[in-house]
Structures are given as structure tokens and as C-alpha cells.
Amino acid sequence: MLQNAFIKYLENLLSEKVISTAYISGGDISEAFYIETEKQKYFLKTNTLDKLKMFDLEAKGLQAIAKTNTIATPKIYQSSTFSNSSYLLMEWIESKPASNQDFQTLGKRLAQLHNTSTDSFGFEHNNFIGSLSQSNKKHLSWTDFYIKERLQKQLDLANASNLLSTNEIPTTSTMQEVLQPLFQNIKPSLLHGDLWSGNYLMSSKGVPYLIDPAVYYGHGEIDIAMTKLFGGFSNAFYEAYFNSIPPDTNTNLRIEIYQLYYLLVHLNLFGKSYYGSVTSILRKFF
């Protein structure tokens, strides 16, 4: 429940009278609230003071996606602190379950986002994947980026936490040898970066929105890999996406390799329940 002092602060910030608030369950990292004023509705995320950077980077990621004019994101009102809390205040999106037509639209818009390119892999700043730091140091080679900034960092973290033993972790040279032939002719695409089914909204008007991004420039199939890892996306979504950006003979293999990153993240966040999935992919490819 929001404290009265925080509500008064929001009223002063917005110059609007708050008429109702409601706690929204389901978030792993932050607390979330619905805020309704006399004029409009807002979505508020709160956390401890040390999480302000996380909110600032989330806002920057949403704005980076919005600037492409390909797929919608909620409007950002403010990322700041009040008392002993940090917060992110955004537009409230009235949402509904996605129909097959809605999924088609989402697939097309995601492909348009992925057609936003640049000259290197990575991003202007690091950010977060869940609550873990995500390095976005720029590389000209996708193979180098994916090994050094994605797999190696998560493998090292798992090893340091005794979640993986040293002999279960492939060497950099082995990863280079296996991945280089599969990572040919890949262009940098602007990614959502953490696209599971909880990180998109379908507005009541059928407009898809992306939320909670972990943006960087990488291979578009990264986002597809995450959608397939935990499900929740219809065939219409994939048909629309691949109609715009066709798969090739190595797409399914790469999707498994890209899922390895997310499984490692989950291993490092949630522990041994993801160990079997991680080691299965490691044994298959390396």
C-alpha cells in the first residue's frame, strides 16, 4: 500500500488529485501500483533507493525503442526518488488478451524494431537482465560479443556461485570454434532483450506495447529465442515475424544457443532448478 505522503508527493508532481490506488501483484523485483487521478491513469513501480539506476536504465531502454517508431512503449513521466524509495512513473496501458490478429501485429512490429540497425553489437551503456548486471560493451563481431558479454559473464558467475563446476564450462576457443560457423552474416538489430510473455502488453485497441526491456544491438533471433523458452506466443506471431525476417537453416540451432544465455541468467538468479537445462545445452554444443 502506498503511504499517504507518497500520494501527496505524486499529486504535487502531477498537479492532479489522486482518486484511487491499487497494488499490482506479480513483480519479482519491484512493487507495482495502479494510480488513478482526476485526469488520467498511471503505472508506478517502486523499490529501494539503490535501485534508481535500474529504473533510469529501464526508462532509457523504453525511450530507445520508442524512438524507432516501430513498436509502442508506455510514456515515461519520471524516474526519481522519494523518501527511502526509488520509483518509475509511467503511462497506464489498458490491456486485453492478445488475439491471433494481435499476435500478427506484434510479430510484424517486432520485425520492424529488429530492422533498426547500427554499426556494432552492444549499446551505449550497460543495463540489467532481471536484477543482474548486463554488459553491453561494443564489438564489431557478433561471435565475440555473444561469447564475451553474454555467455562468459554468466558462466563465470555460475562458477563463482558453485552452480557450475570449472570442467562444465567450455573454453573461449571452443565456443569460438562452435559458434563462428553459425553466426555468419548477422547484422546488429535493436532488441527488447528480455521478451518473455510478461514483457509485452496488448492494449484494448489492439496496439502492442513492450515493457521491461534489456535493450542492446544484437541478433534478432535473441528475442525470438526468449519468446520460445517459456511460451505464450501464438503461431500467428512467428508467422508474421518470419514473413518479414525469414529464418535460415541454422535458426533452430541458434535459438537453442541463445536460450542458453537466458537459462544461465535464471540459474544465477534462481538456482539449481535450471542446472539440468543449462548443462544439457552445454553438452550438446560444446
Nearest to 90 by CA among 116, 72, 68: 72
Task: Give exposure, 72-103, as e/b (b: 16+ Cβ within 10 Å).
Answer: bbbebbebeeeeebbbbbbeebeeeebeeebb
107 and 233 part of one domain: yes
Q: What is the CATH number of the domain that holds 221?
A: 3.90.1200.10
pLDDT at position 147: 98
> Given 91, 116, 150, which residue is the final one in a domain?
91
- In this prediction the pTM is 0.96
Catalytic residue among 194, 212, 223, 248: 194
What is the domain range of residue 261? 100-285
Q: What is the CATH number of the domain that holds 57?
A: 3.30.200.20
27 and 137 part of one domain: no
37 and 114 part of one domain: no
Q: Print pLDDT tens along the chain (286 aa).
A: 788 999 999 999 999 999 999 999 866 789 999 999 999 999 999 999 999 999 999 999 999 999 999 999 999 999 999 999 999 999 999 999 999 999 999 999 999 999 999 999 999 999 999 999 999 999 999 999 999 999 999 999 999 999 999 999 999 999 999 999 999 999 999 999 999 999 999 999 999 999 999 999 999 999 999 999 999 999 999 999 999 999 999 999 999 999 999 999 999 999 999 999 999 999 999 9
154 and 176 part of one domain: yes
10 and 75 part of one domain: yes
Rounded Cα gap, residues 150 and 135, in angstroms: 7
Instruction: Tell me whether residue 56 is one of the annotated catalytic residues.
Output: no
Rounded Cα gap, residues 266 and 46, in angstroms: 23
36 and 18 part of one domain: yes
The string of DSSP letters for 85-102 reads EEEEEEE---B-PPPHHH
> Given 72, 91, 110, which residue is the final one in a domain?
91
80 and 124 part of one domain: no
> Given 91, 121, 149, which residue is the final one in a domain?
91
